[in-house]
Amino acid sequence: MDLSRAADINFNHEGIKMAKSKNFRRTINVPSHGKSKFVQKGSTTANVSTKAKTQSLKQTPANTVKEAKETPSKGFSALKPDLRNDADLNSKDICKHQVKKLKDASKVTSPRFQESMLPDLLLKVATAIAIRSNSSMAYAAICIYVIISNLLSRIVYVQPFKNNSEFSISPNMSGLIVDNPSTGKSGTLYTALSAVTAAIRKHSTRKPSDLDLLQIAELRKIAKKKANEIVKLILELRKEEDVDIENNEDVIALKNEIARIQKSIEELEQDEGIPDILLNSLTKSALQKAVSKTDYPIIINKDEVGSILKLSQEAGGLFKELLIDLMDGNSQSNHIDGNQTYETKSKKASLLGCTQPDTLEKIVNFVNDGLIQRFSLIAFCERNKVSQDAMNDAEVDGYMKLWGKIIDNLLTFTFKDWVAVLPTKDAQALLKQLQTEYEYKMSQESDNQVIEALYGKRFPFIASVSLVNAFFRTKKLNFSELTIELEDVECAAEYVEFNEVHFKNAFGLNETKREAKALELLERLISSNLASKSFTVSQVIKKEWRGFKGAALVESLLEILNQYELFKKRSSDSTLGGRPTVYWKINQDLLEV
């Protein structure tokens, strides 16, 4: 079925083509800054589209020794020209300048969403969702990718390489929107998920009527009576000699009658239609039951995911283990809780939620965690809202109706076996090249487990995004003919790069996080009784300031402040021959600034 004709959209011919026009992309307040840093979109072959990248890979093979990174000086060499006249150098002016540089360096900036990241139809649907929820394109895109990848994972999987059928990827993804209050986070979730809610309500699971319940009760009484008759009959037969009880005609007849009664009960109790795949109130018990009852992937949606993110701090927690298995979609076993076995093998779930930057910082102390790493889709404080004039009301209504039809068709789609979706030759070449690049990046970051793990999750992420792009490009439900084209991977590579930076910003894996932490420590020390005296790292730790309780962390932050010429450092040799004591002191000009 062609989804592009599924909804009643009253557009003229030019209006329908609007999705592909550069003019439309300019009207939605999404910048057009050229092509992806990964690839040049629109090339006809992988070799052409990835020429620059291929050269880069040849210059930096996986076995190359990692070069030391140069750290630019942040001392006097970084001063403005008007402050470099040594004859007129004013120490207070230098301090002001260095503090300003530190503050500027501590500001987290995320890349803006680019139009080239999305295929045309997905861009239009995301625009409609963003307008309806008064939010940004980045937030709408996350919702679309999570929901569609989840629904597709019931039907298809990605096989990135034609000659390796053992390597398959379940496309279900999870996403997180991180921003301050009143920025449209929850509204975007509600708008995107409303289509799922409507489809579930339309095709909801049938509940037994009152008459059905009465019939079920009567049938159970009859079945119990028949079971008692079998027991009595067996006891009587045991008194006789040389009697084959198992093959006795009367026993067999009673067993068959009980089986027919049980089948009638199951037919009356049988659920029909689509189960409720949306789960909001999340506990381990609720998740196990919901997953065990259906083969449909579950969508866990939370306005505030803080309670789930707290699980990242629990080493080896069973609830956390269950979530990770479901988010991966490749659990090899069922989960056992007490005496109850829950059917979770090969079941899937996607998590879609929101939180605030402050909440995230308070909860997540250790990012190198399996649960955190599975939030592949991240948008961090992306506040470029789509203009309300980007579409007229009729267009917004039309694309929201189309969005609802897409969801409805995917939820009700019936199939016999999973379908493997393969890339074309050019798309496979680019996927292989991207895999090689991320493997090289992992080898370069082998001393940083957090970044290494992040890169390790990138390739499956690209494959899953490419599948959703291919689905929106073809707009058809004939999955046996669905293939991933080069343009699908090109868009995905750029979108993954965007998410990678947002992930680092959200979880403090960027350089600016260290600068911000150093600035916070500086402000605390200036306000303390250590402001005008020399002190050691242990004296800072004894203050028990939240976030500054580790010696290695405090020392590294003081080193940063020393690089900015805002602190002085000196060592005092021990008279007993031990390690020298390191003393730190605030640049006293700061106290007068």
Query: In what order do the strands lie in the sheet containing 278-279?
Result: 278-279, 298-302, 349-355, 175-178, 377-380
Can you tell me the distance from the alpha carbon of 246 to that of 212, in angstroms, rounded to the nearest whole number? 34
Tell me the three state secondary structure of residue 325: helix
At the second CATH level, the architecture of 76-105+511-592 is Orthogonal Bundle (1.10)
**Residue positions counted in the chain:** 593
pLDDT of residue 57: 36
Count other Cβ atoms within 10 Å, centred on residue 348: 25
Q: Quick check: 74 and 563 in contact, CB under 8 A?
A: yes
Residue that has been written with the tokens 């997540």 in this structure: 364
Can you tell me the distance from the alpha carbon of 431 to that of 435, in angstroms, rounded to the nearest whole number? 6
pLDDT of residue 47: 35
Q: Rounded to the nearest 5°, which phi and psi values hold at 221?
A: -65, -45
Token digits of residue 362 = 């308070």
Q: Quick check: 434 and 428 in contact, CB under 8 A?
A: no
Q: What are the start-end ranges of the E strands in 221-304? A: 278-279, 298-302
586 forms beta bridges with: 567
Nearest one of 180, 117, 210 to 495, comparing CA atoms: 117
* pTM: predicted TM-score of the whole model, two decimal places: 0.70
581 forms beta bridges with: 572
pLDDT of residue 321: 86
Multiple choice CATH, 3-68+112-204+295-506, 3.30.1460, 2.60.40, 3.10.28, 3.40.50: 3.40.50
pLDDT of residue 344: 81
pLDDT of residue 72: 43
**Residue-wise over 477-486: b if at least 16 C-beta within 10 A, else e?**
bebeebebbb
Mean pLDDT by 10 residues, the chain (593 residues): 43 41 53 44 37 38 37 41 50 82 75 88 96 94 97 94 92 93 91 95 77 86 88 84 80 87 79 81 82 90 87 78 86 74 86 89 70 86 86 96 95 85 96 92 77 82 96 82 94 91 78 78 91 91 83 87 89 69 88 70
Tell me the three state secondary structure of residue 582: strand
Nearest one of 184, 101, 95 to 137, comparing CA atoms: 184
Tell me the three state secondary structure of residue 387: coil
169 forms beta bridges with: 158
Can you tell me the distance from the alpha carbon of 363 to that of 506, in angstroms, rounded to the nearest whole number? 12
Tell me the three state secondary structure of residue 488: helix
Nearest one of 566, 492, 486, 586 to 94, comparing CA atoms: 566
Q: Rounded to the nearest 5°, which phi and psi values hold at 145?
A: -65, -40
Q: How many angstroms separate the Cα of 441 from the Cα of each of 66, 340, 452, 495?
A: 10, 44, 8, 18
Domain extents for the chain?
A: 3-68+112-204+295-506, 76-105+511-592, 210-269
Q: Quick check: 172 and 157 in contact, CB under 8 A?
A: no
Can you tell me the distance from the alpha carbon of 460 to that of 435, in angstroms, rounded to the nearest whole number? 9
pLDDT of residue 510: 65
Name every residue whose Cβ is closer than 8 Å to that of residue 316 and which is 6 or more positions away in sequence. none
Can you tell me the distance from the alpha carbon of 553 to that of 314, in angstroms, rounded to the nearest whole number? 22
Q: Quick check: 7 and 405 in contact, CB under 8 A?
A: yes
Q: Quick check: 119 and 469 in contact, CB under 8 A?
A: yes
Can you tell me the distance from the alpha carbon of 17 to that of 354, in angstroms, rounded to the nearest whole number? 34
